[in-house]
């Protein structure tokens, strides 16, 4: 037995998994996703954690930043586009700890963060995730 382990999935791998998750989001939601950007960072920074009232960067796997659609007005034109950030190291740790596929974890986080974009409840996000598989 060799015992060697391959390299951890890169930020580009996470980006590809996120784009794949976006592609599986059904109508009518999918038509409202244009303009949402996805970025991958290793961890949330101290400012982000403080704003969320969190102390442990390992606990945050993803974050939606933007105005939910149900709060948009004509006055929100010109704001920065909505953004979903995936935090690579916490996702890798969860992947190793749970044995759930990385694709399933990234899809779960993307759906959850997209749910914030739509102002969905947790139950609605769970239903959407079921449709996106």
pLDDT at 70: 53
Burial grade of 120 (CB within 10 A; 0-12, 13-18, 19 or more): buried
* Assigned token pair, 26: 């059904």
pLDDT at 69: 60
Q: Give 10-residue mean pLDDT values along the chain (133 residues).
A: 69 94 85 86 96 95 79 55 92 94 94 81 72 66
CB within 8 Å of 83: residues ≥ 6 apart: 36, 37, 38, 39, 64, 65, 66
pLDDT at 1: 43
Q: Which domains does the chain have, with CATH numbers?
A: 9-64+79-130 (3.30.2010.20)
The sign one gets for the Cα dihedral 105, 107, 112, 114 is positive
62-65, strands of its sheet edge to edge: 37-41, 83-87, 62-65
């Amino acid at each position: 037995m060799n015992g060697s382990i391959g390299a951890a999935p890169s930020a580009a791998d996470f980006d590809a998994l996120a784009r794949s998750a976006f592609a599986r989001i059904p109508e009518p939601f999918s038509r409202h996703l244009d303009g949402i950007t996805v970025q991958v960072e290793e961890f949330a920074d101290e400012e982000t954690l403080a704003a969320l009232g969190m102390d442990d960067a390992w606990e945050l796997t993803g974050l939606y930043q933007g105005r939910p659609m149900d709060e948009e007005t004509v006055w929100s034109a010109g704001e920065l586009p909505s953004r979903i950030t995936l935090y690579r190291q916490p996702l890798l740790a969860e992947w190793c700890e749970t044995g759930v596929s990385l694709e399933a974890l990234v899809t779960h986080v993307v759906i959850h963060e997209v749910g914030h974009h739509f102002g969905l409840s947790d139950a609605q996000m769970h239903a959407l995730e079921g449709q996106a598989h």
